[in-house]
Structure 1
Amino acid sequence: MSASAVYVLDLKGKVLICRNYRGDVDMSEVEHFMPILMEKEEEGMLSPILAHGGVRFMWIKHNNLYLVATSKKNACVSLVFSFLYKVVQVFSEYF
C-alpha cells in the first residue's frame, strides 16, 4: 500500500487505532488533522485530501469515526481510498 500510516479517530480527533507502515511520517502528525479539517470546513473548502507541510491526509468519515491515511510520497490515492473503504466494510461485518 502507498500509505505511510493509517489511523482511526473519534469525532474529537482522539486516536483509537493506528498502524505505522513505513515510519517516514511521525505518528504525532495526525494531531494536525482535526484543526485543518475544521478550518477547511468553516471555509467551505473541504476535500478528501488535506495537506500539512509535506504530509498528505487522505480521509473518510463513517458514522462517528474518521479513517485517515497519511503519506509523504506520491501515493496512489484511489488505492488508499479503496483500502479505507474496505477497512470500513471489514469492521462493519466483524463488529
Structure 2
Amino acid sequence: LKTALEQLPPSAHPMDVMRTGVSVLGCLTPEHEDHNKAGAKDIADKLMASLGSILLYWYHFSNNGRRIEVETDDESIAAHFLHLLHGEKPSE
C-alpha cells in the first residue's frame, strides 16, 4: 500500500488518494464471501481506521519525501489522525 501511495503526485485530490488506497487494500486483504452484519461492520471499522493513515502517509511523502510510521497507540481515530498530521501525540 505504501508503495502505491508513493507513486501518487502531490497534486492528487485527497479523495482520489483515499479511493486508491481503499482499492489497494481490497486487493491486499480481500473480503470474505459472506457479508453478514458483523462482517460488514468489521469492514467499515477497518476502513475508518485506515483512511487517516492512508491520507497522511501520502501527504507527508508527496510533500516532504518523508515516510512516516502509521502505527500509534492513540485511543481514537481523531487522536490518531492528529498524531500522524503533527508527528506527536495530541493533547487532551
Q: TM-score by structure 2 length?
A: 0.33
**Greater RCO, 1 or 2 (C-alpha within 8 Å, sep 6+):** 1
Q: TM-score by structure 1 length?
A: 0.32
**Per residue, is there more strand in 1 or in 2?**
1
